[in-house]
Structure 1
Amino acid sequence: MARPLLRGDRLRAAREAVGLTREELATRLDLSSPARIRVWELGLERPRPRFIPRLAAALHVSPYHLLDVDPGDPPLAALRLAAGFATNELTAPGLSVMTYVRLEDGRPGVDPSDRVVTAIAQVLGVDVPRVEAAVRRSRSDNAALASSGG
């Protein structure tokens, strides 16, 4: 399943809109070089998930604005990225990383238990209905990908 991508064009536009140079943004993020900002803006590399919410905060935009997703109906991966987590960090009592990955990938199967959905919501700092909608979106995206042969 394709993961949401950082939109380099949106990153650059947001940076310019707040009047920051690449150097200034790199300093705010404690990066060793503004070259990292450049490669993200050009789409040559993806930032680690922990940088998504930090970038958004520095640029005064929603993390979803920086991702290639519908902010009103994001898949589970976008919720995770917006919160700054890598997949291997999504664990909590009642939630294994593998259970989370299956849900994020949108694999068909039994609906997640209330305990699993609640655990994901707590880790990501969002409400339960948002997680439920994101799981549905992830499954919908997976089904569309499968039917297109992708």
Structure 2
Amino acid sequence: MARPLLRGDRLQAAREAIGLSREELATRLELSSPVRIRVWETGLERPRPRFVPRLAAALGVDPLYLLDVDRDDPPLAALRLAAGLATNEVTGDGLSVMTYVRLEDGRPGADPSPKVMAAISQVLGVDIPRVEAAVRRSRRDHAAMAAFEG
């Protein structure tokens, strides 16, 4: 599945709402140039995952607000980005990166064990019901994409 995109329009609106220039936001994020903010706002580039929560904190918004997802029903990839993690950073006790990637992609299969769900919850910093809902959303999105492509 495609990674959720940063909504450049929301990034710009949040920045302007608190009266920050691109230069000021770049300084807060310790970026070498405000050009990075411009390319994110215009959609020419996506920020690395680690910048999503940093942007949200600097702007005083929920990280999910900056992504093109339903904040009330985000897929697993959106929760990962909101936590500022790349896929290879989602690992823990009883959780391999490959297991996580299969879940994030929404591939059909057996429901993950409680241990896997607890590990994802801990790594992403969200409660287990939120992870369970995100896995279901990821699977619905995968099924819809497969039906569309088929």
Q: TM-score range by the shorter chain?
A: over 0.9
State the Cα distance separating 1:139 from its structure 2 match: 0.1
The residue aligned with 1:14 is: 14
State the Cα distance separating 1:3 from its structure 2 match: 1.1
**Equivalent-residue separation in structure 2 for 1:148 and 1:132 (angstroms):** 24
Alignment of 1:1-150 (within 5 A): 1-149=1-149
SS in 2 for 1:148: helix
State the Cα distance separating 1:11 from its structure 2 match: 0.3
Amino acid of the structure 2 residue aligned with 1:24: E
Deviations, residues 20-72 of structure 1 (Å, cap 9, x unaligned): 00000000000000000000000000000000000001001100100000000
**Equivalent-residue separation in structure 2 for 1:131 and 1:102 (angstroms):** 14
Amino acid of the structure 2 residue aligned with 1:51: F
State the Cα distance separating 1:93 from its structure 2 match: 1.1
SS in 2 for 1:3: coil
Q: Which runs of 4+ in 1 moved over 4 A?
A: none
Unpaired segments of 5 or more residues in structure 1? none
TM-score (norm. length: structure 1): 0.99
Amino acid of the structure 1 residue aligned with 2:141: D
Unpaired segments of 5 or more residues in structure 2? none
Amino acid of the structure 2 residue aligned with 1:90: V
State the Cα distance separating 1:9 from its structure 2 match: 0.4
Amino acid of the structure 2 residue aligned with 1:78: A
